[in-house]
Chain A
Amino acid sequence: MLYQDEPSNDDGFQRAYRQHIDAVYRVCYGFMKNKADAEDAAQETFLKLIQKNGSKSFDSISHERAWLIVVASNICKNNLKSWTHQKREDVENTDDLPDPSERGSETNPVLEAVLDLPDKYKTVIYLYYYEEYSCGEIAAAIGKKESSVRSILRRGRNLLEKKLGGAADEK
């Protein structure tokens, strides 16, 4: 289903889901900052993959993965911009909500710092540091110039340095 050598649609989707759900969920969580919204965005991303079925197959699994990550980040950006999400944030910004420090997955200061980065840095930081893509691959994936990707990375690192102290390693 999902890349050219895939045997059948259902099996292909199951395989793609198992293989990429973690990456997609991480990207979604990085944007949405809560589990429920991240899960919704991840589901929407894989629904896009099903809809895409038949129109185009991917060259490789890494191509498929890159496509899923970019689609996930776009979906999250759209959701964050949507009227319903903004309204809901207004409601959620009350004193009744638990302290952010109580959220288990965000106790990691590095993760906190990454999640606090502006949206445009998150995908690039994730692809570069976690997925270990090169700047050229990231540029191809997100449709920007390689120089722009380098610039985004540099500014993202500087922001992380300011929050965490010390310089991040460069590959």
Chain B
Amino acid sequence: MKNEDIKKAFESITPDNEAKERMLKAIMEKSQAASENASAKPENTPWYVKFKAQIGVCSAAAVCAAVFALTVISPGIKDIGDTNNFVVPKPSEEIAATQAAVTGITTGTDKEDAALTVAYTTSVSENHQQGENISKNTSTATEVLCVTDAQHSDIVTKAVNTTTAASSLLTTKTTAHSTETHTETSSVSAETTTETTVSSYGLYGNLFDFSHVTWAGKSYSTDYAETSYSKIKNILGSGVAMDDEGNTYTILLYSIDGVPVEDGLAIQYIGNTNYYVFYCIE
């Protein structure tokens, strides 16, 4: 086999003249048709480009609607998975009535905040109190030893009723400070979980039984009306609140802006982010 054989083989493949003319004619016709189609064909703009502006407006409107819906609906969402370690009881009408007394303690501008807060109470209490501050246990309850920063070294240990002493005073102070920024949010969550039944007890039990505090020789009580963080003036110290059975609950005490300490205090229960108004009952 020689190169010439291959060349001759290829040369034998030649279209005849008729075929050449036929192909040329077909090519010219196809070319002309293609050019006519190209000129007659409207611009092929994708639909999403044509409706770009409308799509943008609709998308923006949808986002706005979604944000508005979330804004309206979100306050009604139940915050069952709250970080609080206790169960919020049902609000009682009795406490709601006493809320008026609390708002009497607050200044005029506090009324709006007080109106937003919800007080709670419960008759169930099976809690054991934690804390290093030991309170005196009396059968009639309501005696609490409070500890100020200045009086910290004067803590007197009396009858012991604590079953656990989990947290130190220093630790509880830190915890309280770290939760201060969430006060407003927690107020809302407490309000939205009012339908939760008292079926179980968390780490700190039911704080709403611990309504008795003694501070600087004065007795205070509360209807669990809340105040906002913005109303908190100074931290007065730490102490314990007691229930009717003498159980204690570690608390932090704050003075309220515009309210003399002799008239009322703000109490923050350890493990809770809310500030409750305690007013002097003596």
Chain A contact residues, CB within 8 Å of chain B: 14, 17, 21-22, 25-26, 29-30, 35, 39, 42-43, 46-47, 50-51, 105, 108, 110-111, 114, 125-126, 129-130, 160-161, 164-169, 171
Residues of B within 8 A of A17 (CB): 24, 27
Task: Report if B14 contacts A (CB, 8 A).
Answer: yes
Chain B contact residues, CB within 8 Å of chain A: 1-3, 5-15, 19-20, 22-24, 26-27, 30-31, 34
Residues of A within 8 A of B31 (CB): 47, 50
A129 touching B3, Cβ below 8 Å: yes
Residues of A within 8 A of B7 (CB): 129-130
B23 touching A30, Cβ below 8 Å: no
B23 touching A129, Cβ below 8 Å: no
B15 touching A39, Cβ below 8 Å: yes
B15 touching A110, Cβ below 8 Å: no
Distance of A117 from chain B, by nearest CB (Å): 11
Residues of A within 8 A of B23 (CB): 21, 39, 42-43, 46
A22-B14, A26-B10, A114-B10 given; A35·B1 CB < 8 A: no
- A56–B126 Cα gap in the complex (Å)? 92
Residues of B within 8 A of A43 (CB): 23, 26-27, 30
B27 touching A47, Cβ below 8 Å: yes
- Report which of A21, A130, A161, A168 forms a contact with B2, defined as CB distance below 8 A: A168
Residue of B nearest to A170 (CB): B3
Residue of B nearest to A112 (CB): B9
- A1–B8 Cα gap in the complex (Å)? 32
Residues of A within 8 A of B12 (CB): 105, 108, 111
A111 touching B15, Cβ below 8 Å: no
Q: Is the interface of A mostly helix, strand, loop or mixed?
A: helix
User: What 6 A-B pairs are tightest by C-beta distance, nearest first?
Assistant: A111-B9, A110-B9, A130-B10, A129-B6, A26-B13, A169-B3
B1 touching A160, Cβ below 8 Å: yes
Residues of B within 8 A of A129 (CB): 3, 6-7, 10
B9 touching A114, Cβ below 8 Å: yes
Residues of B within 8 A of A51 (CB): 34
A43-B27, A50-B31, A169-B2 given; A25·B15 CB < 8 A: yes
Residues of B within 8 A of A126 (CB): 10
Residue of A nearest to B5 (CB): A110
Residues of B within 8 A of A46 (CB): 23, 27
B14 touching A161, Cβ below 8 Å: no
- A50–B38 Cα gap in the complex (Å)? 14
Residues of B within 8 A of A14 (CB): 24
Residue of B nearest to A167 (CB): B1
Residues of A within 8 A of B13 (CB): 25-26, 29-30, 105, 111
A165 touching B1, Cβ below 8 Å: yes
- A169–B1 Cα gap in the complex (Å)? 7
A22 touching B15, Cβ below 8 Å: yes
B15 touching A21, Cβ below 8 Å: yes
A25-B14, A129-B10, A171-B3 given; A39·B19 CB < 8 A: yes
Residues of A within 8 A of B1 (CB): 110, 160-161, 164-168
A35 touching B19, Cβ below 8 Å: yes
- A160–B5 Cα gap in the complex (Å)? 12
A47 touching B6, Cβ below 8 Å: no
- A130–B4 Cα gap in the complex (Å)? 9
B15 touching A114, Cβ below 8 Å: no
A130 touching B6, Cβ below 8 Å: yes
- A47–B33 Cα gap in the complex (Å)? 11
Distance of A11 from chain B, by nearest CB (Å): 13
- A22–B23 Cα gap in the complex (Å)? 12
B8 touching A110, Cβ below 8 Å: yes
- A22–B20 Cα gap in the complex (Å)? 9
- A111–B31 Cα gap in the complex (Å)? 33
Residue of A nearest to B6 (CB): A129
Q: With A50-B27, A166-B1, A168-B6 given, name 8 new contacts (CB 8 A).
A: A35-B15, A35-B19, A39-B23, A47-B34, A51-B34, A110-B8, A129-B10, A160-B1
Residues of A within 8 A of B6 (CB): 110, 114, 125, 129-130, 160, 168
